[in-house]
């Protein structure tokens, strides 16, 4: 009985990345799958007609994963293979590496696929195999596999070491009440916290918990580099409250160490909060570094770089076009008397599409243009 066959359509320039994924899947599936890859040195033996062997691989395949990279879309070969496979009734699944498949033109953008943004997205290979062939293989890829894929692909690898050296802490706060367009709006923070706990449990993410952290009103969770502090509402002040200081609140502190994994969890948790599409994270620098803090100096610096613009609606705000991020420089202690200034960059993003590595790339880029500098 022949093995179920997967076909990896890719550019030969991406051989190392695709081969690392193939090898990992071979191990995870115990060799019960045949994975055809034209550049692996095995699927097409030396001395054979390679076009004929590709045709044989396509005839046998049940699934084709099309690796969409800058290399492959430039060559155009994947379009030929994908079109042929689709016409034969083969399930064709685009996989974006460094390219957003949602931004592609027809016909590839009409097919359901995924971008490799985290180790979870790498495990979509296993999910598709299990669903199609009724297997029950465990997840095959971890965080280190994801980093290897990104580093192998990206010619402009982001500098996580520089990020860890520069960023002291990253944080975000979500209040149960907020003023929106002059009106007081309430959010269900209690429900949000319950969904966070349920998400961690459902995804087998181990966490520590303290139900009386600091005082009776606070519950603290810590998981995978993210600290979540849930402050319950102060019921005694509800009737005569004049500020949001006593309302319910959830605070996130995201470690700068192993940031890609920590931020990915933070983003996934943020998506549980249905009331907002955007999110933000405040980046605090370590003592030996500083942001360019005046709006005139900041605008002067970024005017030299086409990948940046000022935010037309916010003095002290900037847009990094290539990364899809906005950021604002301000004193985090501006409302606290007798406290020295604490300048932060508040990075605003679309919580559904943001990539953790883009936050790191932004910091790296701000170093490059001297917007962040050593004291």
pLDDT of residue 157: 45
By the 8 A CB rule, do 302 and 309 touch?
yes
What are the boundaries of each domain within the chain?
5-153, 160-374
Q: Residue 96 CA to chain centroid, in angstroms?
A: 13
By the 8 A CB rule, do 372 and 327 touch?
no
Q: Residues 157-165: contacts with CB within 8 Å, 24+ apart?
A: 158/357, 158/360, 158/361, 158/364, 159/360, 159/364, 160/259, 160/260, 160/360, 162/363, 162/364, 162/367, 163/256, 163/259, 163/360, 163/363, 163/364, 164/256, 164/257, 164/259, 165/286
pLDDT of residue 303: 93
- 3-state SS track over 55-71: HHHHHHEEEEEEEECHH
- pTM (2 decimals)? 0.61
Look over the chain and give the mean of its residue pLDDT values, rounded to a whole number. Answer: 83
Q: Each residue of 156-193: pLDDT tens digit?
A: 445 566 788 899 999 999 988 777 777 778 888 999 99
Half-sphere exposure of residue 14: CA atoms within 13 angstroms, side-chain side: 29
Q: Each residue of 320-338: pLDDT tens digit?
A: 988 889 999 999 888 777 8
pLDDT of residue 160: 66
Q: Which CATH class is domain 5-153?
A: alpha beta
Q: Each residue of 220-252: pLDDT tens digit?
A: 999 999 999 999 887 665 555 555 567 889 999
Q: Residue ranges of the chain with pLDDT lower than 50?
A: 1, 40-50, 155-157
């Amino acid at each position: 009985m022949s093995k179920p066959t997967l076909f990896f359509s890719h550019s030969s320039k991406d051989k190392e990345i695709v081969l690392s994924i193939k090898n990992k899947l071979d191990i995870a599936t115990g060799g019960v799958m045949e994975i055809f890859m034209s550049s692996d040195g095995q699927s097409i033996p030396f001395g054979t007609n390679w076009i004929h062997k590709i045709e044989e691989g396509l005839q046998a395949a049940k699934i084709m994963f099309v690796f969409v990279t800058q290399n492959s879309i430039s060559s155009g070969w994947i379009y030929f293979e994908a079109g042929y496979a689709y016409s034969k009734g083969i399930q064709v699944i685009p996989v974006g590496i460094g390219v957003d498949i949602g931004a592609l033109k027809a016909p590839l953008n009409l097919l359901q696929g995924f971008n490799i943004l985290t180790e979870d997205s790498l495990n979509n290979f296993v999910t598709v195999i299990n669903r199609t062939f009724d297997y029950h293989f465990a997840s095959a890829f971890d965080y280190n596999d994801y980093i290897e894929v990104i580093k192998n692909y990206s010619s402009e690898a982001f500098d996580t070491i520089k990020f860890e050296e520069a960023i002291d802490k990253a944080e975000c706060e979500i209040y149960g009440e907020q003023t929106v367009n002059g009106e007081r709006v309430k959010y269900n923070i209690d429900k949000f916290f319950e969904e966070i706990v349920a998400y961690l449990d459902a995804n087998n993410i181990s966490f520590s918990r303290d139900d009386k952290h600091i005082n009776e009103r606070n519950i603290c969770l810590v998981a995978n580099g993210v600290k979540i502090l849930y402050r319950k509402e102060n019921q005694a002040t509800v009737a005569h409250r004049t500020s949001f200081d006593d309302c319910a609140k959830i605070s996130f502190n995201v470690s700068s160490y192993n940031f890609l994994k920590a931020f990915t969890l933070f983003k996934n948790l943020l998506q549980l909060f249905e009331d907002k599409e955007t999110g933000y994270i405040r980046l605090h620098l370590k003592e030996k570094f500083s942001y360019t803090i005046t709006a005139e100096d900041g605008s002067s610096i970024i005017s030299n770089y086409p990948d940046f613009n000022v935010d037309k609606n916010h003095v002290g705000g900037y847009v990094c076009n290539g990364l899809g991020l906005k950021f604002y420089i301000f004193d985090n202690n501006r409302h606290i008397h007798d406290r020295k200034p604490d300048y932060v960059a508040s990075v605003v993003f679309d919580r559904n599409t943001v990539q953790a590595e883009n936050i790191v790339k932004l910091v790296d880029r701000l170093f490059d243009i001297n917007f962040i500098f050593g004291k």
